[in-house]
Amino acid sequence: MAADTQLFERFGKSVPTGTILFREGDPGKDMYVLQSGRVQLTRRIKNEEKIVAVLMPGEFFGEMAIVNNRPRSATATVIEDAKMLVIDSRTFEAMIRGNAEIAVRLIKKLSTRLEQANQQIEILLLRDTNHRIVHALRRLAESTGTPEAAGIRIDASIAELADRVGMTDAEVSDVLDRLGQAKLVTKVGERGFIVAEVGRLVEFLEFLEMKERFGTKS
């Protein structure tokens, strides 16, 4: 705890909701370690702002701009009052050189992001809209889901899910309504879903895969 306090006293910053930390295309001179609150990353694709990720406490971001000395690849906006460490390029380099544990954590995180990017591409290549949504829900339940009495909670809004699968909000809502009728997914509040049983979602996904493979008409 004392070490965390010292780090925050040296590098810490409290940032209110709505603050834009950096914009896509900006030069990058700092990286960030999120300690509390949430940060949303967006990119401009075909003249539309698309959500890339919603970062939770413990995540770090912005490091690639200072590692490869290239412009920011996304816009970062605080969507829930946050506390974070702000680390400049010189300090970051010193930390990497002087602490093998930090270097290993960075490599693991970058590998995870690459895997997530590959999964995103895989989802976007799926033709069937039901398939896209179920596939995305399964990935989210397994990677970031929180166990609750009713099942696994996924912290995401319809808009965020729509951006993830490359569909409109209305199309996503329609699929979620059907999943709700099948008692596979329940919407909770403005941003949240409960997956009753990931196993049943996997079975439904397998059914959709067979349906697509053998061209079964509904």
Domain at 126-214, CATH class = mainly alpha
Reported as a single tens digit per residue, the pLDDT across 4-60 is 677 788 889 999 999 999 999 998 889 898 999 999 988 886 677 777 778 888 888
Per-residue pLDDT of 28-38, as tens digits, reads 889 898 999 99
Any idea where the domains of the chain sit in the sequence? 2-123, 126-214
Q: What is the largest CA-CA distance in the chain?
A: 62
Which CATH architecture does the domain made up of 2-123 adopt? Sandwich (2.60)
pTM score above 0.85? no
Q: What are 174-216's pLDDT values in tens digits?
A: 888 888 887 888 887 777 888 877 777 667 666 666 665 665 4
